[in-house]
Structure 1
Amino acid sequence: MELYLDPMHPGLRYGYTTGTCAALAAKAAAQALLSGKIPDSVSVRTPKGITVCVPVEKGTLQNGAAVCAVRKDSGDDPDITNGVLVYAEVKQAPGEEVRVDGGIGVGRVTKKGLACPVGEAAINPGPREQIRHAVLAAAEELESVGGFEVVISIPEGERLAKRTFNPRLGIEGGLSVLGTSGIVEPMSDAALLESIRLEIKVLHAAGNERLLITPGNYGETFAKQQLGLSDAPMAQCSNFIGDTLDILHREGIKGILLVGHIGKLIKVAGGMMNTHSKYGDCRMEILCAYAALFGVPQGSLRRMMESVTTEAALDVLKETDKLEPVMDAVTQKIAQEVKRRAPELPAELVLFSQTHGTVGKTAGADRMIALFRELREER
């Protein structure tokens, strides 16, 4: 697609969703089935109102079915599905309905709380409607009546799905076919936030009222190996601390244990609710400010400020015998900021370092950990 977020400054190019790809492939296959000829290209109008026209690849006609594929173009959005082929197989069927299912590489829903019922292919309602509309449009163009069966496949889907949230969401065997507007906006955080929301929703739908939240793999590993919480209901929030707190509140979660590395969560003490480095890096400044309040000598403060990592800065702080009081104060400040953002969400914190282990925790953290362990034993 040659459509840009800012036409005056090209560089952020729009793409189209897997849902639009599925609709394009389904329309091409329907045209091939009804005309007896594989089309060279196919177009659909997306829910956003943008028409997408693409070449048709890998078309076949045999045994009363037509198969066509189109290639995903994610534009300038960092999407792992960019360039994959999305296939649609179309057959005529009794009745007037267009029935849509998933084939190879399209995941199956195994947990409640998602847009699709348990047992169905992970093709969201929006894309399903896109696919149905596209097939019916092809039938109308070729003056055909009757029902159709459509099977969407993504041969690379099972491999790629391992790099997504799908395994956590209870979507097994492949990718989800997603897309509300049909268009991928470049460099958008919306898709990741939606994944976080869905993960929390699925966990809540499974009966979990308290969740373990961690920014990433380091926190998850620490929680499992050092806190003994390998079976706790857990969701990763990436850098989106504030947005995740908002989601947790909206979804009705009754309490959380936030476990994170000091290098990530110390930014929250400075009021940063998105901890990505592009929004700032105040790690050493915050740590040194608190160290100064507890009388850490200027020479040590200078060494801390010159440290490349918070791990190295904590090594210096430990030499001054001020590690514990400083980290207690930092932990309380983080807790205050979390409370400010989500005042009605009970939250406990555990901060850790790879070298020094647990370096801070709120007063109720041990009780929350015990609740998770009791829940594991009950199960």
Structure 2
Amino acid sequence: MTRKPDGPLRKGWTTGACATAATRAAWQALLSGDFPDPVTITLPRGETPSFKLIKAEKGDGWARASVIKDAGDDPDVTHGAEIISTVRIGTPGNGISFHAGDGVGTITKPGLPLPPGEPAINPKPREMMIGQITELCNQFGVSTDVEIEISIPGGAEIATKTWNGRLGIVGGLSVLGTTGIVIPFSCSAWIHSIHRGIDVARATGRDHVASATGKTSEAAIRAFYGLPEEAILDMGDFVGGMLKYLRKNPIAFVSIAGGFAKLVKLAQGHLDLHSSRSQVDFDRLAGTIAACGGDKTLQDKCRTANTAKQVLELCQAADVKIEDAIARQACESARATLDGASAVEVVITDRNGTIIARHGIGEFDQFRPVAS
């Protein structure tokens, strides 16, 4: 994850807000003959940002406008992308329709807010664009029969840096944003993707999903169970965001995999595992070592250790199974958050991807691999 810079952070605009601005500019030009530049829109919470146009083209029955997405100080992969809207006069009586242009994905799996076959333009951005189109149609006294095509040049390549593939969105990016505003380092897009992954898993009948704190633990848990890509949730540090959503939208069994240090934090009750938002309590960890039979010397070494990794190495050298205790405590923490909605196991891996501890496997034995 990109490190958060010091000092005040600049907010930005979502892809949905940029698409809305481009759509308004294009439709207004088609109706009036002139492109508003800059173009001003009203966001769901009443903000009225203005956007400078990059493209401004029109012909017989169509117009096209674009803006460059500015995500502020957020490390958004779509920052700097060109968001293009091409509007066309539609067939009378058909109303407003949305289409995926180059670089915008198409939904192929159930469970997302829109059905398979639809362009990946989320409901809130659609609502924003419909509002702008309707306002202009009323102003100029014309019907709201409009075709809107959103394009993002290079979007297919950018999408490889997102989780769209796991969600069944193919061919490009999603047009997202509920408020129109990007809050820097709010991580809302990441948590949104976790939630959509759960929705897709439920809609496709998955009764077992696995989540992981990083690539190594993800590869380990996926290989252990032979899980397909769509059964993997990109949890990262946001175990709380995942567990709280599962509490309301349960799946029968969830595996949580991660390295020792991250899962110590979960064991100690933290639901955000990022280093800037939670820290390992070494005194508490020393108490766990004591409960595992570690002597006072080992406990004292733990209290002055630099990292949780160092604690694990000290315990392994002393043949104290701290990893088993942490797996158990982390599983208990996850269960408390799930409140019985789903069965859960915790799997701890080392840096090579070897599983060194598991707890919770008895809750849902049918998912255990058959011994060879």
- CA distance in 2 between counterparts of 1:32 and 1:363 reads 61
- CA distance in 1 between counterparts of 2:307 and 2:219 reads 20
- CA distance in 2 between counterparts of 1:188 and 1:321 reads 41
Given that residues 269 and 286 in structure 1 are in contact (C-alpha distance below 8 angstroms), is that contact kept between their aligned partners in structure 2?
Answer: no
- CA distance in 2 between counterparts of 1:221 and 1:34 reads 54
Are residues 139 and 250 of structure 1, via their aligned partners in 2, closer, same or farther at CA, if it must alter by over 3 Å? same
Which amino acid in 1 is paired with 2:338? A
- 1:288 corresponds to which residue? 286
Query: What is the aligned length?
Result: 361
Given that residues 331 and 360 in structure 2 are in contact (C-alpha distance below 8 angstroms), is that contact kept between their aligned partners in structure 1?
Answer: no
Question: What's the TM-score once normalised by structure 2's chain length?
Answer: 0.88
- 1:327 corresponds to which residue? 323
- Report whether the alignment pairs 1:27 with 2:24: yes
1:206 to 190, 204, 208: 204
- 1:240 corresponds to which residue? 238
- Report whether the alignment pairs 1:346 with 2:343: yes
- Report whether the alignment pairs 1:193 with 2:214: no
- Report whether the alignment pairs 1:14 with 2:11: yes
- CA distance in 1 between counterparts of 2:168 and 2:368 reads 21
Larger mean CA deviation between 280-289 and 150-159 belongs to 280-289
The CA deviation at 1:90 is 1.2
- Report whether the alignment pairs 1:91 with 2:84: no
- CA distance in 2 between counterparts of 1:230 and 1:89 reads 41
The CA deviation at 1:245 is 1.3
- CA distance in 1 between counterparts of 2:344 and 2:243 reads 10
Given that residues 344 and 360 in structure 2 are in contact (C-alpha distance below 8 angstroms), is that contact kept between their aligned partners in structure 1?
Answer: no
- 1:49 corresponds to which residue? 46
Given that residues 247 and 337 in structure 2 are in contact (C-alpha distance below 8 angstroms), is that contact kept between their aligned partners in structure 1?
Answer: no
- CA distance in 1 between counterparts of 2:266 and 2:351 reads 19
Q: Residues 174-226 of structure 1, C-alpha deviation per residue, up to 9 Å, x if partnerless?
A: 1111122222233323332222111111111100122222223222111134x
Q: Residues 35-93 of structure 1, C-alpha deviation per residue, up to 9 Å, x if partnerless?
A: 33333221111111111211111112235421110121223333222221110111112
- 1:6 corresponds to which residue? none
Give the 5 Å matches for 1:67-106.
Answer: 67-96=64-93, 97-106=95-104
Question: What's the TM-score once normalised by structure 1's chain length?
Answer: 0.86
Are residues 41 and 356 of structure 1, via their aligned partners in 2, closer, same or farther at CA, if it must alter by over 3 Å? closer
Which amino acid in 1 is paired with 2:67? V
Q: Residues 75-132 of structure 1, C-alpha deviation per residue, up to 9 Å, x if partnerless?
A: 3333222221110111112215222211111110011011111011011122112212
- 1:173 corresponds to which residue? 171
Which amino acid in 1 is paired with 2:17? T
Larger mean CA deviation between 37-46 and 278-287 belongs to 278-287
- 1:316 corresponds to which residue? 314
Q: Residues 274-330 of structure 1, C-alpha deviation per residue, up to 9 Å, x if partnerless?
A: 2111223216444433223444355545555555444443232222122x3x32222
Structure 1, unpaired ranges of 5+: 1-9, 375-379
Given that residues 24 and 132 in structure 2 are in contact (C-alpha distance below 8 angstroms), is that contact kept between their aligned partners in structure 1?
Answer: yes
- CA distance in 2 between counterparts of 1:34 and 1:52 reads 22
1:39 to 36, 43, 58: 36
1:357 to 354, 357, 363: 354
Which amino acid in 2 is paired with 1:341? T
Structure 2, unpaired ranges of 5+: 1-6
3-state SS of 1:347 partner: strand
- CA distance in 1 between counterparts of 2:301 and 2:226 reads 36
- CA distance in 2 between counterparts of 1:303 and 1:356 reads 26
Larger mean CA deviation between 80-89 and 308-317 belongs to 308-317
CA RMSD of aligned residues (A): 2.5
Given that residues 263 and 283 in structure 1 are in contact (C-alpha distance below 8 angstroms), is that contact kept between their aligned partners in structure 2?
Answer: no
Which amino acid in 1 is paired with 2:11? Y
- CA distance in 1 between counterparts of 2:297 and 2:233 reads 40
- 1:184 corresponds to which residue? 182
Larger mean CA deviation between 135-144 and 270-279 belongs to 135-144
Q: Residues 226-263 of structure 1, C-alpha deviation per residue, up to 9 Å, x if partnerless?
A: x2434372212222222321211211222222222111
Are residues 317 and 373 of structure 1, via their aligned partners in 2, closer, same or farther at CA, if it must alter by over 3 Å? closer
Give the 5 Å matches for 1:63-142.
Answer: 63-96=60-93, 97-142=95-140
- CA distance in 2 between counterparts of 1:373 and 1:327 reads 21
The CA deviation at 1:143 is 4.5
3-state SS of 2:314 partner: helix
- 2:251 corresponds to which residue? 253
Given that residues 48 and 183 in structure 1 are in contact (C-alpha distance below 8 angstroms), is that contact kept between their aligned partners in structure 2?
Answer: no
- CA distance in 1 between counterparts of 2:88 and 2:329 reads 61
3-state SS of 1:46 partner: coil
Larger mean CA deviation between 194-203 and 303-312 belongs to 303-312
